[in-house]
Structure 1
Amino acid sequence: MSAALSWKLVIDTRDAQPLADFWAAALGYEVEDPSALIAHLRSTGTLPEEAVGEHAGHAVFRGYAAVRHPEDPYDPFTGIGRGRRLLFQDVPEPKTVKNRLHIDVHAEPGGLDDLVARLETLGATRLHEVDKGPAGHWWVMHDPEGNEFCVA
């Protein structure tokens, strides 16, 4: 049997930094801090200034942000996670149709209503409730950029 592959989920965005903030808060993840890598690349002259922005007091790569699970390994120099990770990248075109891939967020037993309410305070919106009886009960929601996700 071969080892599990390393992976990340990449999500197209209009504004990567705020969406990374939303998903970090929603999932209990950490927003990656690439400021040490950016400082190094700036000092060597290999990173153009137009590629750098600032968010939450840190230097960031303009148009990119990532979040990682707080217990997973990461490279302390680059800030890049080596485990469960979401990468957000700005694209020029707007979202126009339903996602073909989405995230399911699971509540603690009996905690669905509380989790949905907490996600709404972070900027999510409810789309519709699905009740399949014994097969399941969940909410379809939008993140702040309109990407669908489910809360069960």
Structure 2
Amino acid sequence: MPVHFKIVVDCTDPHRLAAFWAEAMGYQVEDHSSFIAGLLANGVVTADLLTEVDGHHAWKTLAAVRNPDDPFDPASDAGQGMRILFQQVPEAKTVKNRLHLDLHVGRDNIEPEVQRLEALGGTRLSDRFDENGAAWIVMGDPEGNEFCVHS
């Protein structure tokens, strides 16, 4: 049986990274505010676990993005398909990622996409590579996590 999974990214500012990656990938930031409201009303969680994002309650140390075309739980807005969770950790990133995302945009769209992502807060980390029929540019997200804009 296939295993359902999500990608989890350790970070210092989960809401900033969720906003960046939602724009970068055409994903949707999950809105957990209705779920949180129910937990607050029933005394399951306390306000010290929360922050405010775009005028609504959100988890202080967690944020997630999901493919808007995939199924999701209407009660919590948590994606049930392709999803990335950003969790706050106390330490900053210090070394190269052992896992990274490749955003496949097509050979002719690499440069325009890099420019769009730089405008969102990404950083170009390499020149263009053209090897074995593939092309890509290495970038960093706003916290320096490496990813590739790929053909």
TM-score by length of 1: 0.95
- Taking the aligned partners of 2:94 and 2:21, their CA distance within structure 1 comes to 21
Match of 2:68 in 1: 70
1:48 Cα deviation after fit: 1.2
Match of 1:33 in 2: 31
Match of 1:102 in 2: 100
Using a 3 Å threshold, how does the CA distance of structure 1 residues 136 and 109 change in structure 2: closer, same or farther?
closer
Structure 2: runs of 5+ lacking an equivalent: none
Match of 2:17 in 1: 19
Kindly report which structure 2 residues correspond to 1:3-152, keeping only aligned pairs within 5 A, or say none.
Answer: 4-152=2-150
Over the matched positions of the two proteins, sequence identity in percent amounts to 48
1:89-118 deviations in whole A, cap 9, x for unaligned? 000011110000001001134111111111
Backbone CA RMSD of aligned residues: 1.1
**SS across alignment from 2:115:** helix
**SS across alignment from 1:111:** helix
Using a 3 Å threshold, how does the CA distance of structure 1 residues 44 and 101 change in structure 2: closer, same or farther?
same
Structure 1: runs of 5+ lacking an equivalent: none
1:134 Cα deviation after fit: 3.9
Using a 3 Å threshold, how does the CA distance of structure 1 residues 133 and 103 change in structure 2: closer, same or farther?
closer
**SS across alignment from 1:110:** helix
Contact 2:107 2:135 in 1 (8 A): no
Report how many aligned residue pairs link the two structures.
150
1:24-66 deviations in whole A, cap 9, x for unaligned? 0000000000001100000001101100111111210111000
TM-score by length of 2: 0.95
**SS across alignment from 1:89:** strand
**SS across alignment from 2:139:** strand
**SS across alignment from 2:86:** strand
Q: Which deviates further from its counterpart, 101-110 or 24-33?
A: 101-110
- Taking the aligned partners of 1:151 and 1:49, their CA distance within structure 2 comes to 39
